Structures are given as structure tokens and as C-alpha cells.
Chain A
Amino acid sequence: AQSVTQPDIHITVSEGASLELRCNYSYGATPYLFWYVQSPGQGLQLLLKYFSGDTLVQGIKGFEAEFKRSQSSFNLRKPSVHWSDAAEYFCAPAVYNQGGKLIFGQGTELSVKP
């Protein structure tokens, strides 16, 4: 069965520290891969996506993610976290032959310490 796992429910980092949020998926083929961010009470905003080609992709707000086929992972990173990055982060694979339907992970809540 297709599934996506975000192992970390909640992460706290200090402002200025680096960040890595983990995402693992289980699909029959390599899906399209997306990371979304959600601020409290808001909808979701697309951070970045992987389709094919270069396995290191850049997104908005200084985020990047690396696709590793051998590990079925698509981890999100940021070199230096800002207080405004505190939010919920969702990894979401999509399969093109299923209407491009996104399947969301449980999410990782990021808190930022001053």
C-alpha cells in the first residue's frame, strides 16, 4: 500500500540553527514529491517539489530538499532557521496516474526557540 511517513511529530530548534525534517515514502514507483507548510489556522503553501532530474531542489524561504531513491526519502532542510519558520510541515507524494492526488504525511510541527 502507498504510504508516507514523517517520523518526527514535533521538533524544536534554536533560531539560527540548521533544520532537517524527515520524510519517507512507500510507493511502487517514484512519485512526484512535495513539501507544504501550514501556519496556524491557515491553508497550505507549497515550499518545493521534486519531479525528476537534479535530486537537490530549492524552494521558497531558503528551504531545500534532497531526494534519495535508495532510501525512499525526501528530507527537507534549512541552513539557518528563523522564528517565522515555526509552523507545521507536510510531506506529500503524488502519483500522476491517480489524478495527481496528494497523500499527506502526519506532519512535523516546528517550534523555534529565541
Chain B
Amino acid sequence: DTGVSQDPRHKITKRGQNVTFRCDPISEHNRLYWYRQTLGQGPEFLTYFQNEAQLEKSRLLSDRFSAERPKGSFSTLEIQRTEQGDSAMYLCASSRNEVYYGYTFGSGTRLTVV
């Protein structure tokens, strides 16, 4: 169990640029979740995958956000035409199918849009 890995740890980008984050879940975990966390707030759900299928996407997620999980392994989260309001910590988590086990979180990617 090597844990959940996220890359990069930090990203600074100019407004209007596209950014992509990667998440490598625990290998035997079928589910993968993306959350966004701003300062002083709890993590906010963005989307989740069951294997390679994206089963839910938050209504708060604009069309500039897209996530993929090809072959049910790693996942990428892309933000197009970044805005200053996108500055946040982006957290990835993975879990087994059974809710009981809870999630294992990665350390997150901190995005700063300047």
C-alpha cells in the first residue's frame, strides 16, 4: 500500500492557462474521488469514478473542469482557462467499493492562479 499520490504538489499558473493534475490511487481501490478545498473550508465534492466510469459530477463544477480515469487506474483533472477563483487545494481520494472503509486521501495539489 503506497498510498494515494498526487502530482504536482504545487502549481502556479497565469489566468487563462490550462492546467492538469494527476492522481494515482491505491491499486486495489475501485473508486476515485476529486475534491476542492479553499482556505477555512471543508473539502467540496467535485466528481467520482467507479473504475473508469465517471458516475457523478457536482453541479458546482463548471464546463471548464474535466476529469478522466482511463482504464480505471490513474485519474487526471484538467481546468481550462483558469480563473483566480480556481485557486484552491485539489484533493484526490480513493476507496474500496464498500463505504465502510472510508477514503484514503492524497496530499493534494495546491493551485495558485495569478
Q: Is the CB of B108 within 8 A of A102?
A: no
A112 to B93, CA, bound (A): 29
Q: Is the CB of B107 within 8 A of A49?
A: no
List the count of A-B residue pairs having beta carbons below 8 Å apart.
64
Which of B12-20, B60-68, B70-78, B94-102 has 4 or more CB atoms under 8 Å from chain A?
A: B94-102
A30 to B108, CA, bound (A): 30
Q: Is the CB of B99 within 8 A of A44?
A: no
Quick one: closest B residue to A90, CB to CB?
Answer: B42
Q: Is A100 in contact with chain B by the CB < 8 A criterion?
A: yes
Q: Is A106 in contact with chain B by the CB < 8 A criterion?
A: yes
Q: Is the CB of B43 within 8 A of A101?
A: no
Q: Is A94 in contact with chain B by the CB < 8 A criterion?
A: yes
Q: Is the CB of A102 within 8 A of B103?
A: yes
Q: Interface size for chain B: under 10, 10 to 19, 20 to 34, or 35 or more residues?
A: 20 to 34
Q: Is B51 in contact with chain A by the CB < 8 A criterion?
A: no
Q: Is the CB of B102 within 8 A of A43?
A: no
* Given A43-B106, A44-B105, A46-B102: A105 in contact with B45 (beta carbons within 8 A): no
- B residues in contact (CB < 8 Å) with A: 4, 31, 33, 35, 40-45, 48, 50, 55-56, 91, 93, 95, 97-100, 102-108, 110
Interface pairs (24), CB distance under 8 Å: A32-B99, A32-B100, A36-B105, A43-B107, A43-B108, A44-B43, A44-B91, A44-B93, A44-B103, A49-B100, A51-B100, A90-B43, A92-B42, A94-B102, A96-B99, A100-B31, A100-B95, A100-B98, A101-B45, A101-B48, A102-B43, A104-B35, A104-B44, A106-B40
